[in-house]
Structure 1
Amino acid sequence: MDVQNTLTQHEEKMNKCIEALKRDLASIRTGRASTSLLDRVMVDYYGSQTPVKQVANVSAPEPRLITIVPWERNMLKEIEKAILKSDLGLNPNNDGTMIRLEIPQLTEERRKEFGKKVSKHAEEAKVAIRNLRRDCNDLFKKAEKKKEITEDESKEAQTKIQKMTDQKIKDIDALKDKKTKEVMEV
């Protein structure tokens, strides 16, 4: 068993968990307009589910406004339906050529709700990281039992994976704190 290779593979998986968390957090609304809000909104484009950004030009010209200009005019209604179905809580304003999404000021209650959502996503990412640590430790223990690695190598590898886990948890907490601050900002 190659200990370093196993550690590297698990670190890559942990990094993927953090990237997934970043995508999840980007889709949580703050009081400011961001085109990343529409990352998860899918529209029916000739029978297949396609992200809005692949069928329209999406921009945020003002701090509280997102504009969506579809490349094909017949997509306006589909995009409007997709936004209404999403859990963003935004009302699209269709003028026949473009859709305007006005980002309303968040109420205190809504901010707290989004803060809880941020915490939930962060906790899910932490659980995923810890599960990866457990899996990696199990691999090392099995390899030690089979005499593929020594007891010292196993203990050292488990220490390294623990340090890696601790660092990733700190990264997740930093992301969570930053996003919570954004959400709570008036």
Structure 2
Amino acid sequence: MFKDVENRMDKSIAALKSELATIRTGRANAALLDHVRVSYYGSEVPISQVGNISIPEPRMLMITPWEKTIMADLEKAILKSDLGLTPTSDGEVVRIVLPELTEDRRKDLVKQVKASGEKAKVSVRNIRRDANDGVKKQVKDEGLPEDESKRLQDRIQKITDQFITEVDKVIEHKESEILTV
């Protein structure tokens, strides 16, 4: 039972980290383009499936498509995304220069990070609630002793506290990344 709770909470942390990877900091990161989709032979696919993404400089992303015919679609997809980035193409590669973040933009990104952290905490707490409900069901249906139920719920709470602390660490790390000029 505890393994299941820990696995589900681990997945919440992984989802948070994945979501935070798409939030832009002052440095280039290939994960920034993870949610951008390109029209490729009639279907929408992630950019990573149509070309190679590299980081030649700290504030530049470079995409080398496997087929030159997709260049226009690649640029359109990046322009349409919510990233606010402008790609440039030389016929061979697409370059994206990340502009320096303004102070206001950094504050907005920190708010976005905190909101993502709160969603992760809610997810972890929902998992705790489900586990506690399972323990209460065992008390009712299987005659689990009350002191055993209390012990199990205390253990579930300790696991929850551990994962909430982990969420806080992840959020704190991302905030420091964003605020570092």
State whether TM-score is above 0.5. yes
Aligned pairs, number:
181
The equivalent residue for 1:155 is 150
Give matches, 1:74-113, under 5 Å.
Answer: 74-113=69-108
Tell me whether 24-33 or 40-49 shows the greater mean CA deviation. Answer: 40-49
Tell me whether 86-95 or 13-22 shows the greater mean CA deviation. Answer: 86-95
Relative to the length of structure 1, the TM-score reads 0.94
Q: 1:139 aligns with which of 127, 134, 138?
A: 134
Cα distance in 1 between the residues matched to 2:80 and 2:149: 50
**4+ runs of 1 displaced by more than 6 Å?**
none
Q: How far off its partner does 1:149 sit?
A: 2.4
Relative to the length of structure 2, the TM-score reads 0.97
Cα distance in 1 between the residues matched to 2:84 and 2:73: 17
The equivalent residue for 2:120 is 125
Q: How far off its partner does 1:147 sit?
A: 2.6
Cα distance in 1 between the residues matched to 2:12 and 2:6: 10
Deviations 1:104-143 (A, max 9, x none): 1000010001111100100000000000100110110011
Q: How far off its partner does 1:11 sit?
A: 1.0
Counterpart amino acid of residue 144 in structure 2: I
Cα distance in 2 between the residues matched to 1:94 and 1:155: 63
Counterpart amino acid of residue 72 in structure 2: K
Q: Name the SS for the 2:142 alignment partner.
A: coil
Tell me whether 130-139 or 79-88 shows the greater mean CA deviation. Answer: 79-88
Q: Which runs of 5+ in 1 are unaligned?
A: 1-5
Q: Name the SS for the 2:126 alignment partner.
A: helix
Q: How far off its partner does 1:64 sit?
A: 1.0
Counterpart amino acid of residue 57 in structure 1: N
Cα distance in 2 between the residues matched to 1:168 and 1:142: 24
Q: Which runs of 5+ in 2 are unaligned?
A: none
The equivalent residue for 2:66 is 71
Q: 2:168 aligns with which of 167, 173, 184?
A: 173
Q: In the alignment, is residue 15 of structure 1 matched against residue 10 of structure 2?
A: yes
Cα distance in 2 between the residues matched to 1:21 and 1:156: 30
Q: Name the SS for the 2:38 alignment partner.
A: strand
Tell me whether 74-83 or 166-175 shows the greater mean CA deviation. Answer: 74-83
